[in-house]
Amino acid sequence: MTYKQSEKELLFERGSITLDRTKSPANDIVDIVSETLFGTPGSMRYRHKDTREYIHQIDNPYFLALRRNDVLLGTVTICTRPILHTVAPTTAYHVRYFAFNEKFRSTSRETQKRQKSNFLLDLIFNQLEAEHFPETGGGVFYAYVERENVRSAELCERFGFNPIRKMTTSIFSRMFPKKDNRVSRLNADDKGQMKQLLHDYYKGYSFFTTENLFKDDNYFVLKEGNEIVAGIQALPTHWKMEEMSGPVGALAMNLLPKLPILSRVFNPNAYNFLAGEGVYCKKGYEHLIPVLFEAVCAETGYYSINIWSDIESSLYQLLQGIKSKGVLERFNDKNTADVIVKYSEISEETARDIESRPTYISGFDLA
């Protein structure tokens, strides 16, 4: 089915309950997603402060909205994108936002609310079947979930999602970042070349996508002479940290904001950083990656870069090879999250191929 931006498709109706699908977010969807508290209680929890802007920059989205008497109860955002490197043409559906009205969120002390939340989950995720997704051919739904998060476990257990890969966060920071005259924003004339370099660099990865790259002229390259030898997409990102567990978390939340210099790299009320993706490095130039990262911080006025990577990927090894990532890496708990998938009408060969490759993690998907 082809949609216009204003079109709405009714997927389900029972009494006062409706579930619809649109290609643009209604105001109540933007409101509820903007207020979502991410993370795991008792560990780390945070809010995204850029949602009202970035939700409108998502390519090829579907917004599922569950309402009762026209009051939004819950919503899921799914981004449609091709999987570029697989044994057979396959469509990927990234589960981007997953938000519920707070009065329907479950807690260990409120069994009744938990039952209501599960009912809402059932209604929404029952639509993740061939009658609505995919519309043509085979597909795979995937999401990034924290391993200790109860709702993430529900996704796996109740709706047929399975963990296939593990990912983690690397944090690069500099309190006094320095520019380098070899580093600049990607020229328009070099975009085609850069895209090909990235295709070749990530040809062994699953879920590689270029749709989130080159946004707002935020791709930076390091050149030796006229040759691009390293690059990164750096998306300005702003979070509010609500909770960090353990002694290290307490130190970060309570002490760092009070220290004039350290507070520039971390302030829980205004945790501002660059979300990195599309990292490229020509073989033999690995030593220039920290030079690139530091210069990008200096060029943009930020002090840190967060990069998510599959723990069995070449990108993870590249990031691990940076000898000094900076002060924020010392506060990084290095917990792993899961990449979870749900297949729809794809062959066992394609599924095995997807699972055997490291996952490409888009920084925009997590910003």
Q: How far apart are CA 184 and CA 298, in angstroms?
A: 11
The reply to whether 102 falls in a domain is yes
What was the pLDDT predicted at 213? 96
What was the pLDDT predicted at 100? 84
The reply to whether 70 falls in a domain is yes
33 and 115 assigned to the same domain: yes
What was the pLDDT predicted at 133? 64
Q: Which domain holds residue 79?
A: 8-166+337-348
pLDDT over 90 at 131, yes or no = no
| 63 or 90, greater pLDDT | 63
The reply to whether 358 falls in a domain is no
The reply to whether 129 falls in a domain is yes
242 and 344 assigned to the same domain: no
Which pair of tokens denotes residue 252? 């970060």
The reply to whether 354 falls in a domain is no
Q: Nearest to residue 306, comparing CAs of 328, 338, 321?
A: 328
175 and 233 assigned to the same domain: yes
12 and 139 assigned to the same domain: yes
For residues 318-328, average pLDDT: 95
Which pair of tokens denotes residue 20? 């619809």
15 and 160 assigned to the same domain: yes
DSSP per position, 170-211: EEEE-SS----TTEEEPPGGGHHHHHHHHHHHTTT-BS---T
pLDDT digits (tens, 9 = 90+) for 223-276: 999 999 999 999 999 999 998 887 778 888 888 888 888 888 999 999 999 999
Q: What CATH number is attached to the domain comprising 194?
A: 3.40.630.30
pLDDT over 60 at 5, yes or no = no
176 and 325 assigned to the same domain: yes
The reply to whether 363 falls in a domain is no
40 and 136 assigned to the same domain: yes
Confidence category of residue 1, pLDDT binned at 50, 70, 90: very low
The reply to whether 118 falls in a domain is yes
For residues 54-70, average pLDDT: 94
Which pair of tokens denotes residue 291? 């030079």
Q: How far apart are CA 56 and CA 337, in angstroms?
A: 26
Model pTM score: 0.90
Q: How far apart are CA 182 and CA 40, in angstroms?
A: 41
114 and 34 assigned to the same domain: yes
181 and 266 assigned to the same domain: yes
178 and 82 assigned to the same domain: no
For residues 212-220, average pLDDT: 95
Q: Nearest to residue 316, comparing CAs of 150, 166, 178?
A: 166
User: Which letter, b or e, does each residue of 140-155 get, where b requires 16 or more Cβ atoms within 10 Å of its Cβ?
Assistant: bbbbbbbeebeebebb
Instruction: Please tell me the total count of domains within the chain.
Output: 2
Percent above pLDDT 90 for the chain: 63
**In the block, residue with structure tokens 């998907």:** 365
Q: How far apart are CA 367 and CA 363, in angstroms?
A: 6
Per the CB < 8 A criterion, the answer to whether 161 and 143 are in contact is yes
pLDDT over 60 at 217, yes or no = yes
For residues 135-155, average pLDDT: 76
The reply to whether 69 falls in a domain is yes
296 and 192 assigned to the same domain: yes
Poorest-confidence range of 131-140, 168-177, 242-251?
131-140
- Residue 212 makes CB contacts below 8 A (sequence gap 6+) with 59, 233, 277, 362, 363, 364, 365
Does residue 362 sit in helix, strand or coil?
Answer: coil
pLDDT over 70 at 365, yes or no = yes
289 and 197 assigned to the same domain: yes
